[in-house]
Amino acid sequence: MKKIICSLFISLFFIGLQAQMAQPDRYETKKGNLNIQPLFHASLSMTWNSKTIYVDPSGIENFDVNYAKADVVFITDIHGDHLNIKSLKSIITPKTIIILPLAAKLKLASEALPNKLIVMRNGEKNQLLGIKIQAIAMYNLPITADAKHIKGRGNGYVLNFGGKCVYISGDTADIEEMRTLKNIDIAFVCMNLPYTMTVEQAASAVLDFKPKIVYPFHYRGNAGFSAIDQFKALVSNGNKSIQVILKNWYPDQKQ
């Protein structure tokens, strides 16, 4: 009986994941559609201009899904929910380009990957495969030497796809570098204590930098799931022009 229940749970999990995977969100850009697919926790994929892009692939190798191979991967930090060697190897080819902070590159040094690794530091800009890239600071507040995310180690990213600007927060507090962002079309904003920030802090930051669309993600913490419905209400009550899109980033658990 236990085996039957376990098999049923696994089947339902994969059905739920595949249903989510079948419905990417589509946005028009000046150079074709940008398709965005939430994956798991902090992981997402995007397709644009015939290229496949992943952000922080982690845990996805456990899913019964045929993932397209990556043209480029963005890594934000060194922790396992962002830099997962098994997940990374499941979607890269020798031609995949990996963009990452220095600390993440050092962590990958023992893997002897054949890939081109491009290190970006906070504030730096680059352009790759038609994508304009800017590395944005991500860190905890208050700034301390023993913080879970120290200033300068990890990157958030602003990615410009044919005029459509997408912000990936990484693991951050409601820092000035996020609050002062301009002209963001789509934002992915974290909210989970004790690793990042509260729902109230995330909503306050979003109301400051005013993205057109925001996805709460990375919202599972020590005490369970953050109240993303509350986040949506706070943002909507503060600025009705900001669209909050709720997705199930944890198809393996009931929320």
Q: How confident is the model over 81-112, as pLDDT tens digits?
A: 999 999 999 999 999 999 999 999 999 999 98
Q: How confident is the model over 23-65, as pLDDT tens digits?
A: 899 999 999 999 999 999 999 999 999 999 999 999 887 777 8
pLDDT at 112: 87
The overall pTM is greater than 0.85: yes
- Domains of the chain as residue ranges with CATH: 2-244 (3.60.15.10)
Structure tokens at 40: 């798991």
For 156-225, give the DSSP string: EEEEEETTEEEEE--S--S-HHHHT--S-SEEEEE--TTTS--HHHHHHHHHHH--SEEEEE--EETTEE
